[in-house]
Amino acid sequence: MTVHAPNRLAIHQSLVHPHDVLELTAALPGTGWHSVGLHVGGTAEVEPWWHGGAGEHNLARLVPLLLGTRVTVLDVGRVQLGAGLPRDDVHAHHGRVLDLGARFGARYVTARLTADLPPSRRADVFGQLAEQARPYRLVPLLAPVPADRPDLVDDAVAVVTPSGGGVVLDVPVGSCTPGGVEAVVDALGDALGYVRLSARQVVAAGDDAAGLLATLPPHVPVALGGDDSVGFVHDDVAARLTDLHGRVDALLEHPRARARRLGGP
């Protein structure tokens, strides 16, 4: 019997674009993936899906499907953090992201800093999101933070730590080493929300990337997506996702487990 990594594994919706989230959720059972990451705001292509009456209709379709397939929602996004973040109690903008996140039972809400937000205001505005997300039981994560840029990791920690938020750690598959990933994960500590991988990079690296995440703690989720991988899986979805699960599982397999599986001592 094959033993897979215990980490929660998620597929970002953008990976299967233009397939919608209902198609993605229906395809996941049997592929090894546990969760989905959803865009419900902040990008033009998802606005028609979740706005107004269409949003209520799609919500009513997705929740029973999640329950029936036992697929969970890792995160919802995206909230754009600009010069300020006034409360959105009518759910016209980021309030809708928070509301949908709670309805889906998501753990995280992701946010990105806009270019017009001065560095001196970043922690304060992120803190506003953390305060507004708290009643929805969502933890805000700053995304993405590249693992091979220690300066940006330090900057992100300074932004999220005062309010108890975290980061989405982007791990470049071709340029990071297992030791480098372990060092960044240790440095982040409780500020690490989850790890994100580029599907294109995972496929391109092949067996050379085996064990890259071997020491990632089992409670840290891993999501497959990446800004360079939008629409990467567009046909034969279930079979492609099964193959990608095997590739990601190989990244999480410790060398000792790999040796034992292959018949070594």
pLDDT in tens, 221-248: 999 998 899 899 989 999 999 999 999 9
Name all contacts of 238-246 with Cβ < 8 Å and 24+ positions apart: 238/27, 238/30, 238/31, 241/11, 241/27, 241/28, 241/31, 241/32, 241/33, 242/30, 242/31, 242/32, 244/11, 244/199, 244/202, 244/203, 245/9, 245/31, 245/32, 245/33, 246/32
Tell me whether residue 231 is in a domain.
yes
Tell me whether residue 101 is in a domain.
yes
| Dist. CA 28–CA 69, nearest whole Å | 8
Q: How many domains does the chain fold into?
A: 1
Tell me whether residue 2 is in a domain.
no
Domain of 106: which CATH number? Answer: 3.20.20.150
Tell me whether residue 29 is in a domain.
yes
Listed in sequence order, the residues at least 6 apart from 209 whose beta carbon sits closer than 8 Å to its beta carbon are: 173, 174, 202, 250, 251
Are the beta carbons of 95 and 89 closer than 8 angstroms? yes
* 83/254: higher pLDDT: 254
Model pLDDT, residue 82: 86
Per-residue pLDDT tens for 68-119?
999 999 999 889 998 778 888 867 788 989 999 999 999 999 999 998 899 9
Model pLDDT, residue 1: 45
Tell me whether residue 3 is in a domain.
no
Instruction: Return the percentage of the chain with pLDDT > 70, whole number.
Output: 94
Instruction: Return the percentage of the chain with pLDDT > 90, whole number.
Output: 74
Residue 223, CA distances (Å) to 35, 76, 220, 255, 256 in order = 9, 12, 10, 22, 24
The answer, yes or no, to whether residue 264 has pLDDT greater than 70, is no
Tell me whether residue 246 is in a domain.
yes
Residue 257, CA distances (Å) to 86, 104, 179, 211, 253 in order = 50, 35, 17, 10, 6
Query: What integer best gives the mean pLDDT of the chain?
Result: 91
Tell me whether residue 4 is in a domain.
no
Model pLDDT, residue 217: 96
Model pLDDT, residue 213: 97
Tell me whether residue 26 is in a domain.
yes
Parent domain of 31:
9-263
Cα within 13 Å of Cα(249), Cβ side: 17
The answer, yes or no, to whether residue 46 has pLDDT greater than 80, is no
